Amino acid sequence: MIRLPEPCGPLSEGVVRALRARPDGPHAVAEPRAMGDVEYPLTDRDFQLALWMLYELHYGGFEDVPPEVEWDPLLIVSRAALERTLEHAVRRLVGPVSVPDGDITRALVKLTTASGPSEVARFLHRRATRAEFCSYLRERAVYHLRESDPQSFVLPRISGAAKTALAELQNDEYGAGEPSRQHQLLFAQALTSLGMTTDLTSYVEEAEGATLASVNVMSLFALNRRLRGAAMGHLAAFEATSSIPCDRILRGARRLRLPEEVAAYYDEHVEADAIHEQLAIRGICARLAEDEPDLTDDIMLGALACLAVDGLAGDVLLQGWQADRAERTSREAG
């Protein structure tokens, strides 16, 4: 179990206060007034941190927070209010969703092939310093230390061939019968090899709002049954845009002569995600759309949301690195 992160504004303070309240007393609901101040939810760290903590209750939970709090009705009310704002922001960012002829396989292949090379992966491949590479790992730790966990919540919510394909994909993510091959553990080993902590809270406390948003969107889709189509579309887009970037990041790790554990994590994902892409698009999404045609647009929404929100998180990182470099240059010149 992990410790509660330090809050960074009125919403996350409200959640921390509520989580630390006596288990038998009523829990405070995050103030709706503070919610009104959230102008850009997708990059608002306070907003995303508040929601991240409420979601974490459904994953590993926190030290010193009683387990019953997971289903505290008042906290569920708070979570739902934050989720509505997040969902609205995601839908606005994505814009109108359409699947020509209802052919979800073709739409997903086209979307993920046209998405172009990841600028972040290109930067890590050719230009990043060791410090910049490590700062990338710190941001990504928020997801990778919990890699694939959100999608596991979807298993009981789908059926038939789509369920079998999701189970097959998740089995690979969780080490295919070999605990030491779990992708989350491979990432933790990469962090350890660089002398970095594996304490998730430390990374959450430093993460950008958009990074937290990219993880919260997965929980939003996976923890709301009505959004199960979006959860699977998100997974498909994630996997289908992962192999080539992972190959570039792997080359970046080798260029910087980082420990083999770092390379091993990305090396595994080049091959695994090329398989997972096919499983997710053809095995899961196509079959899900066949079984439940009403979910077709939601599958596409999830895929578009993945590319848009992860793209936003990537832009924030690139801008940060550029700003840091500019500052260093001007300091050295001055």
Partner 1 sequence: MKRRVSVVECPGGPLLVRGADEVVSADGSVAAVERSVVAVCRCGRSDRLPWCDDSHKDRAKRKKKRAQES
Q: Two tokens at 154?
A: 């979807």
CA distance 137 to 88: 29
> Which listed residue (131, 176, 323, 326) binds partner 1 by CB under 8 A?
176
* Region class of 64: left (phi > 0), else alpha (psi between -120 and 50), else beta: left
Place of tokens 């369920």: 163
Asked if 109 interacts with partner 1 (CB under 8 A), we say yes
> Which listed residue (243, 254, 264, 318) binds partner 1 by CB under 8 A?
243
Number of Cβ within a 10 Å radius of residue 76: 14
Listing DSSP states for 89-141 in one string gives HHHHHH-----GGG-HHHHHHHHHHHT---HHHHHHHHT--HHHHHHHHHHHH
> Which listed residue (171, 192, 322, 329) binds partner 1 by CB under 8 A?
171
> Which listed residue (93, 185, 194, 244) binds partner 1 by CB under 8 A?
244
Q: Distance between terminal CA atoms of the chain?
A: 47
Number of Cβ within a 10 Å radius of residue 21: 17
Q: How many residues touch partner 1 (CB under 8 A)?
A: 21
Asked if 161 interacts with partner 1 (CB under 8 A), we say no
Of 140 and 269, which CB lies nearer to partner 1 in the complex structure? 269
Q: In the complex, what is the shortest distance from the CB of residue 83 to partner 1, in angstroms, rounded to a whole number?
A: 33
Q: In the complex, what is the shortest distance from the CB of residue 186 to partner 1, in angstroms, rounded to a whole number?
A: 14
CA distance 307 to 314: 10
Helix, strand, coil in percent for the chain, rounding step 5: 75, 0, 25
The answer to whether 187 and 144 have CB atoms below 8 angstroms apart is: yes
> Which listed residue (37, 64, 271, 290) binds partner 1 by CB under 8 A?
271
Q: In the complex, what is the shortest distance from the CB of residue 105 to partner 1, in angstroms, rounded to a whole number?
A: 9
Site string for partner 1, 274-303 (x = CB under 8 A): xx-xxx--x---------------------
Q: In the complex, what is the shortest distance from the CB of residue 232 to partner 1, in angstroms, rounded to a whole number?
A: 17
CA distance 104 to 280: 12
Q: In the complex, what is the shortest distance from the CB of residue 44 to partner 1, in angstroms, rounded to a whole number?
A: 34
Q: In the complex, what is the shortest distance from the CB of residue 267 to partner 1, in angstroms, rounded to a whole number?
A: 9
> Which listed residue (28, 29, 256, 270) binds partner 1 by CB under 8 A?
270
Asked if 34 interacts with partner 1 (CB under 8 A), we say no
Of 175 and 320, which CB lies nearer to partner 1 in the complex structure? 175
The answer to whether 266 and 252 have CB atoms below 8 angstroms apart is: no
Q: Which residues bind partner 1 (CB under 8 A)?
A: 109, 112-113, 117, 168, 171-172, 176, 243-244, 247, 270-275, 277-279, 282
